Each structure stands twice: as structure tokens, then as C-alpha cells.
Amino acid sequence: MFDSLQRGSQELMAALWHAATTLSEHDERAARLASVMETLEQIQAQAEGLKLHLLHEANLDGLASVIDQHRSTPRHDSARTSADLRLADDLSERFTMIKAALVEGTVSAAQASAMVFGLKKLPTIITGRVLEVCQAELIELAGSFSPHELRHAALEVWALLDPEAAEHEEGARLDRERRRAEAIRSVRLTDSCHGYMTLTGRLPLADGALLQAQLDALTPPLSSYASEAMPPTRDARRADALMSLAHHSAAAGSLPRLGLDRPTVSITVSLESLRDGIGSADLIGIDAASLTAGEARRLACDANLIPVVLGGRSEPLDVGRRRRLVTSGIRAALTRRDAGCAFPHCTMPPAVCEAHHIQPWHDGGATSLDNLVLLCPRHHRLVEPDPLQSEVSQWQVWIDADSGEPWFRPPGHIDFNRAPRQHRRHRLRRLESDLANEFEIRDAPADGEDSAHTPAIRFPEPHEDPWHPDYRAGRSVPS
């Protein structure tokens, strides 16, 4: 039996090698190679799923020799074996839908591990239907989300369904990181003895974001280097901005303004957290970066606050054809909506992005939120429409009428089917909204509000939880 399995695997690999190396025509070869790569990834995922299943079975049957053989193999270290054993148990005992997707080759082992990482934080008493919906939503995202992005999505699901535990853990993590960042803060200038100095350092996140905003405001545009034979890199221009900051401070004792606004650090924080100092705030444009509410309050003490209120009278979000340039209110709303370059997978922050008119202003396009999208300079040039080319050969951008989110359609030479694409930021927001609607999750009632606003999902008290030592038999467990 084992000989036939080995022969079968060798024949399969031989067939794949033959398919990958026998084509000569460029177009057909590219399609075949892509197909072989996809097949290999699917086989690899299926093999990982089978291995995890066998590890779980061996662990259940007490076959220590099998576990020891896997742990002592030179192909990986013992830490990998321990992680495999934990993942195998989680998949087989609790996350069976993710296991089935792995066995089918729909998701990779890394994606499965990322989803489990977030979902396993959910209370064990959570109903099976809720867990199935969460798994199904994440498996659907796996078609376009990397393991890192899936891990972030799974943690968002946990925070949505168990906000108290998530907020407590997030607060503890942010406090640890803040204390460590303050302890290791440093700036060092070292003379290289070759005509330059090397600057290295580490700053707490809030202070680093403030310095970054000031440098972004002072970074000269490329057009100011027109007389130079070789345009400087972005890092070189940032070095120039740092020296400008030093010269301005030395000469005037105050920082310059950018246009009519001071350099701005964009954060999102609830009014309640800002007032009470409890909770956290998100830094827009720095992926997965958060501050404590206390740090947000410190920044807000000396900052210009622009209310991002759709339709607000003080900051109109639609100036129509009257103006081509984006107003501060529209820019704030764009930053809040897109949180950086909206092109799929791009990580450039809002400070370096440009507001792109989807329908060009000179072609009748309005300066309004539903005709604008934030793009970094590289992707702005990429999607800028060229009237001399056909639509099929260019990137297309549009704002969805229902969600108000930007979507992108690639040209035919990149994707023959031209399937629409979207940045994961917007897909994560939609996931949270879908789950909130599915489980009728609403914000907790404020003082004086009706109790109908309380969340529909209620986690049991200790005496209702069979896994808790204070559980009392005979009490029903909420479904």
C-alpha cells in the first residue's frame, strides 16, 4: 500500500513537471505555468491538511512515537511540531469548516492558522451557528486575503463579538508597548569619518507619528529638484525635510505651517474615549497601529480637529465644479474613508497620497467625495485615464453607489476576466458590518437610552457556563 502511494505521488510530480516544461509558445506557456502553480498550491494545502489530521489522530490514540518522529525530523524544529499539534487540535475539535477548506485545498495552512488565531479567542460557549458564520465569512475572504490580512480580519471578528475581552487585551497590549517604547527610546548620531553622519533611533509610536507628519509637511516636491541631473529618492527628500525642520527651529523657534494648516496626525477615536481616557485610538495610514486613549488626548491638546461629518455644514464634502482643488473637509473625509492609498494591497499612508478625480475635472468631473479617491503618486499615474488607449487596456476606478467605497478593474493584459478588486481595508469594514447585521449587534445603551439597543449576543454568566468552576447544573445555557 505504501509503495503504491509513493509511486502515485512520484507519477503526479512527473506529470506536473512534464506539463510545465513541454510548452514552447509564450501565451500558452504562461497560462499552463499559472495552472501548474495553482495546482501545486492546492496539492500542498491538501497535504498539509492530511498531515494535521494524522497528527490529531496520533495524539488522540496516544501514539507518542509518531509525535516524536515528527518532532525530531530535521525538516523543521520542535517549535513547528508544537504549533502543528495545536493547530491540528483546534481544526479537528472546533473549526471543522476551516479544516474542510484546508483538506479541499481552498485555503493554505498559513491561512488556516491565521483564521484560527483570531477565532480561538472567542468564548467556547459561543453557539455553533455563530462560529459557522464566522468561519464561512473568513473562508470567503481567503480567496483574496493573505495570511497576515486574514489574521487581522479574524481578530476584528473577535473584537466585534466579544468587545469587552478584546478591549481589555488590546488595552493591556498597548500599555505594554508604550512602556517598552518609552524605555528603549533613543536617537544616535554617528560620525562615519567619510563626510556624513548616520542617524538611528527609536521613538514611541505617537511621537514618531508626530515627527512623520512634520517631515511629510516639509518634504520638498520632486519639481523643486528640476535642476539636478538625478532626481533624489524619497528618503533623500525626507533627509532634506529633517534639515529644514532643524533650520526652521534654530532660526525662528517655531515650526512652519503647511499651506494654512499645521502638520496633522490623523487618528480616529470615539468622543467618549477622548473624554474619559479609556479605550484606544487608531492611527490612520499606519497599518494595524493603535494608541491608548490617553496618548490621543495628549495629541488632541495641541491639534487642529476637523470633524469628518458627511454632509456637515462647516466642511462641505461636495464643491461641484466650482473648485478643482480638494478642500480640507473633503481631504479629511477621504482620509477617513480610504485611510491611505486605495489601490489594492498598497500600504502608502494618506500623507503621501493625492486626491484623484475619477472623472477628470477638465472633462466635467466634480470635486466631490463620490468622484475622488486617495492614491499614492505611483498608482495615481497608473490609473490616470489615457484618451489614446481603449478602456480594456487601462485600469478603471469607480465609487460603488451603495457603499460609497472605491473599486478597481484591472486591464485585460493583467486579468483576462477583469474581475473587480478592492483594498482589504474596505472589505474588513464590510465584514464587520455584515456580521453586525447577521447577529444584530448594536452599541451598548448610553445612560437613559432604551435597552433595545443592547447587543443580541449575550455571553453567559459564570453559573451558566459549563466550563466555569461556578457552573450550577440545571441552569439552561443561552443559545
Residues 216, 152: one domain?
no
Q: Per-residue pLDDT tens for 34-66? A: 777 888 888 889 989 998 998 889 888 888 888
Q: Per-residue pLDDT tens for 257-287? A: 443 344 555 666 665 665 565 666 666 655 5
**Of residues 432 and 99, which shows the higher confidence score?**
99
In this predicted structure, the answer to whether residue 433 has a pLDDT above a threshold of 70 is yes
Spatial neighbors of 96 by CB under 8 A, at least 6 apart, are none
Q: What total number of domains does the chain contain?
A: 3
Residue 198 DSSP symbol: E
Q: Which residues pair with 188 in a beta bridge?
A: 200
Spatial neighbors of 215 by CB under 8 A, at least 6 apart, are 238, 241, 242, 245
> Is residue 265 within 8 Å of 214, Cβ to Cβ?
no
**Per-residue model confidence (pLDDT) at position 461:** 55
Q: How many whole angstroms separate alpha carbon 89 and alpha carbon 55?
A: 9
Taking residues 235-250, report their average pLDDT: 82
Looking at 403, 424, 445, the residue that finishes a domain is 424
Output helix, strand, coil percentages for the chain, rounded to the nearest 5.
55, 10, 40
The answer to whether residue 157 sits within a structural domain is yes
- What is the residue range of 210's domain? 189-222+232-252
CA 55 vs CA 27, 63, 67, 70, 267: distances in Å: 43, 9, 7, 9, 45
Q: Per-residue pLDDT tens for 346-375? A: 888 887 788 898 888 777 888 888 899 999
Phi first, then psi, for residue 335 (nearest 5°) are -65, -40
Residues 204, 155: one domain?
no
Residues 153, 236: one domain?
no
Question: What sign results for the dihedral spanned by CA atoms 438, 373, 337, 223?
Answer: positive
Radius of gyration in angstroms for the set of CA atoms belonging to the chain, rounded to a whole number: 27
CB count in 10 Å sphere of residue 242: 16
Spatial neighbors of 220 by CB under 8 A, at least 6 apart, are 237, 240, 241, 244
**Per-residue model confidence (pLDDT) at position 302:** 47
Residues 20, 150: one domain?
yes
Residues 143, 63: one domain?
yes
Residues 41, 115: one domain?
yes
Q: How many whole angstroms separate alpha carbon 429 and alpha carbon 340?
A: 15
Q: Per-residue pLDDT tens for 163-185? A: 888 788 877 877 888 888 888 99
> The pTM is what?
0.58
To the nearest whole number, what is the mean pLDDT of the chain? Answer: 77
Taking residues 425-445, report their average pLDDT: 74
Q: How many whole angstroms separate alpha carbon 396 and alpha carbon 411?
A: 8
The answer to whether residue 176 sits within a structural domain is no
The answer to whether residue 295 sits within a structural domain is no
Residues 18, 104: one domain?
yes
In this predicted structure, the answer to whether residue 477 has a pLDDT above a threshold of 50 is no
**Per-residue model confidence (pLDDT) at position 260:** 36
Q: Per-residue pLDDT tens for 125-164? A: 777 888 888 999 999 999 888 898 899 889 888 888 888 8
Phi first, then psi, for residue 37 (nearest 5°) are -60, -45
**Per-residue model confidence (pLDDT) at position 347:** 82
Residues 152, 198: one domain?
no
In this predicted structure, the answer to whether residue 408 has a pLDDT above a threshold of 90 is yes
Residues 152, 199: one domain?
no
The answer to whether residue 182 sits within a structural domain is no
The answer to whether residue 118 sits within a structural domain is yes
The answer to whether residue 51 sits within a structural domain is yes
Specify the range with the lowest mean pLDDT, choosing from 134-143, 192-201, 293-302. Answer: 293-302
Angle, helix 109-119 to helix 147-161, in steps of 10 degrees: 20
Torsion angle (degrees, nearest 10) of CA 352, 174, 187, 207: 50
**Per-residue model confidence (pLDDT) at position 466:** 54
Q: Which helix (H) or strand (E) holds 374?
A: strand 372-375
**Of residues 126 and 298, which shows the higher confidence score?**
126
> Is residue 354 within 8 Å of 374, Cβ to Cβ?
yes
Q: How many whole angstroms separate alpha carbon 89 and alpha carbon 59?
A: 9
Taking residues 220-240, report their average pLDDT: 82
Residues 116, 240: one domain?
no
> Is residue 417 within 8 Å of 409, Cβ to Cβ?
no
How would residue 101 be classed by pLDDT, with cut points 50, 70 and 90? very high
The answer to whether residue 398 sits within a structural domain is yes
Question: Could you identify the residue written with the cell 509503495?
Answer: 3
Residues 195, 94: one domain?
no
Highest mean pLDDT among 114-123, 212-221, 245-254: 114-123
**Per-residue model confidence (pLDDT) at position 454:** 44
The answer to whether residue 179 sits within a structural domain is no
Q: How many whole angstroms separate alpha carbon 262 and alpha carbon 328?
A: 12
Residues 115, 197: one domain?
no
Residue 166 DSSP symbol: H
Residue 425 CA, chain-centre distance (Å), reads 6
Distance in Å from the first CA to the final CA of the chain: 47
Q: What percent of the chain has pLDDT over 70?
A: 73
In this predicted structure, the answer to whether residue 251 has a pLDDT above a threshold of 70 is no
Q: Per-residue pLDDT tens for 385-403? A: 887 888 889 999 999 988 8
Q: What percent of the chain has pLDDT over 90?
A: 14
Question: What sign results for the dihedral spanned by CA atoms 428, 434, 439, 444?
Answer: positive
Residue 407 CA, chain-centre distance (Å), reads 17
